A and B are shown apart, each in its own frame.
Chain A
Amino acid sequence: MAVSDLGDPPAVPRRGARVMPLGLLAGSARVVRPLISFVFVLAIWSGVGAAQLVPETIFPAPWTVWNATVEMWQMGTLAGDLAVSLSRAAIGFAIGATLGVALGLMTGRIALIRTLLGPFLSLLRPIPAIALVPVAIVWFGIGEGSKYFVISYTVFLTVWFNTHHGMEYVPEIYLRASRSLGASRRREFLTVIIPAAAPYIFAGLRLGVALAFLSLVAAELSGASSGLGYRLQEARQYIRTDRMFSLLIILGALGASVDMVVHQIGRKLVHWQQG
């Protein structure tokens, strides 16, 4: 007997099948929605600035902040600070994420390592990055080393935690299927356990990116001579609120863009995880 389709409904990919309440916005909603919010806040901010309710040194108007940004750019400090801060965040993230994934894979699957390290690492998690700065300076001086340490440490703990849990919650049924299909332990680890944990690992990496930016500022607030965090500190000494606002907005925009990129990469790589 030839087996044809058994009356199953045709398989339709479900992605993008969502119906938007505002038909016109459908395609561009992801871009338009946040813009609405930005325009709204900017309008109120401009209103407050134009009315001159608050002195500019305390709460600068949008155009003052813009001018400060242009000024920092023309002085050449902004590009330099961006480069320094981004490279610190990137290096700190790379170190922390690599160690976090590697150790998470181990504590997730190897009982001995889990027993030895799991509870200890869990205990470290509530310690905020900024609390580590004094220790980092004693250990690594005020050079780049202490920045990398603070950033990679916070990234590491989060990435480790998520990876570890992803490994623990690999559905038993995948392991049963894999073993009864004759897979070796090694093949099971590489082609079943790691993919099954991948959504958790990516969630951890995404949190790690956010934390890299958060702890970057903490690391740069003391003992740095360049970088966005340092520049914030410097602006405080000269009471340049306009520069502070500019730097804060840049930090926010940077963090959000990198987060979006990581999110998109994650969606591609763990494509099976959606709905």
Chain B
Amino acid sequence: MTRMTAEGDVRVDDVAIRFKGKDGPVTALDRTTLRLRPGTFTALIGPSGCGKSTLMNAIGGFVAPSGGAITIDGAEVTGPSAKVGVIFQQYALFPWFTALGNVRFALRRFGLPRAQEIERAHAALAEVGLGAHAGKFPQQLSGGMKQRVAIARTFACGPKVLLMDEPFGALDAQTRLGMHDLLMGVWQKHRATVLFVTHDVDEALLLADDVHVMSQAPGRLIRQYHLPQPRPRAFNRSGSELLDIREEILGLLRPEGVLAAIH
């Protein structure tokens, strides 16, 4: 596939993040260096509490690094911006707006004429299969539908980088599979650099170009895999290599495995 954009080049350079704890500073993320190439899909996997969300929050501009620097297309990240879209596990839809209103919120920054803004919002919802639900409020939608509104909303804003923190963690297995197809479809059309946190090794292997595995807290990157297999992938037809990697990652995620990888 051709890279349609060279934008969305994320560099995390020797970044460490510490929080003030009750008994002195707590290291949430150990010194980490990471590059996300424009337009690629990177999955981040690691034990609970290792700092995955903290790394995301830093790239999103919600948390300032204690050391090192994060740049996107050469500009240092100093706060949240429309260049970096975020999809939250808890959806974060505004309950006072309808599905359409939520998408229009994201389009507002383009200053379109009203009719055109509404038209584009409808198109964005149709793209995620929710054309018939534009007038519903988030409380009237199922979890999967809410997350689809959130995906439509975030892409409507035209982000160059997309951060997804366990976006499908609250959904059942069946819905999750549908969401994978949907995300791949929308992402291949809009192309953003994606960083995707998950606890599900299979999810990481089916979706990502690169998979990074993190250690126990305080987390750092301990292993990286590049996955050239064409999409859509499936474990039974994408070759045995995926299965081998799967075994390896599962091993790394067991507490002893992480220790072994460090020493």
Contact = CB atoms under 8 A, between A and B. Distances in A.
Given A6-B182, A181-B106, A272-B95, A176 B174 contact: no
B225 to A, nearest CB: 27
B181 interface: yes
B88 A177 contact: yes
Contacts of A8: 142-145, 175
B178 A7 contact: yes
A84 B55 CA distance: 63
Contacts of A16: none
Contact of B88 (A2, A173, A187, A273): A173
Interface string B202-231: 000000000000000000000000000000
Interface in B126-160: 127-129, 133, 136-145, 148, 153-154, 157, 159
Nearest to A184: B109
Contacts of A2: 129
Interface in A1-23: 1-9, 11-14
A222 B135 CA distance: 55
Contacts, number: 103
A125 interface: no
A191 B128 CA distance: 25
Nearest to A273: B95
A179 interface: yes
A182 B157 contact: yes
B90 A3 contact: no
B48 to A, nearest CB: 19
A195 to B, nearest CB: 4
Contacts of A196: 96
Interface string B169-206: 00000110011011001000000000000000000000
B235 interface: no
A180 B96 contact: no
A219 interface: no
Interface string B64-106: 0000000000000001111011101010111110000000011
A174 interface: yes
A176 B62 contact: yes
Which interface residue of A8, A178, A270, A271 has the most chain B CB atoms within 10 A? A8
Given A11-B142, A182-B106, A182-B157, A272 B80 contact: no
Interface of B: 60-62, 79-82, 84-86, 88, 90, 92-96, 105-106, 108-109, 127-129, 133, 136-145, 148, 153-154, 157, 159, 174-175, 178-179, 181-182, 185
7 contacts: A3-B185, A14-B139, A176-B60, A176-B80, A180-B84, A195-B96, A273-B95
Nearest to A173: B92
Would you list the 3 A-B pairs with minimal beta carbon distance, nearest first?
A: A182-B82, A6-B178, A3-B129
Contacts of B93: 177
Interface string A240-275: 000000000000000000000000000000111101
Nearest to B57: A176
B144 A183 contact: no
B145 A174 contact: no
A91 to B, nearest CB: 30
Contacts of B178: 6-7
Contact of A7 (B136, B159, B175): B175
Contact of B80 (A4, A174, A180): A180
A11 B140 contact: yes
Contact of B81 (A7, A9, A182): A182
Interface of A: 1-9, 11-14, 173-174, 176-183, 187, 191-192, 195-196, 198, 270-273, 275
B142 A181 contact: no
A173 B145 CA distance: 19
Contacts of B88: 173, 176-177
Nearest to B138: A272
Given A6-B179, A179-B81, A275-B139, 14 more contacts: A6-B144, A8-B143, A8-B175, A12-B140, A173-B88, A173-B90, A177-B94, A180-B60, A180-B61, A180-B81, A180-B84, A272-B95, A272-B137, A272-B138
A173 B182 CA distance: 24
Contacts of A5: 129
Contacts of B109: 181-183
A3 B182 contact: yes
A198 B179 contact: no
B58 to A, nearest CB: 13
A183 B93 CA distance: 14
A158 to B, nearest CB: 24
B86 A183 contact: no
A273 B139 CA distance: 9
A191 B105 contact: yes
A60 B88 CA distance: 65
A219 to B, nearest CB: 37
Given A11-B141, A272-B137, A192 B94 contact: yes
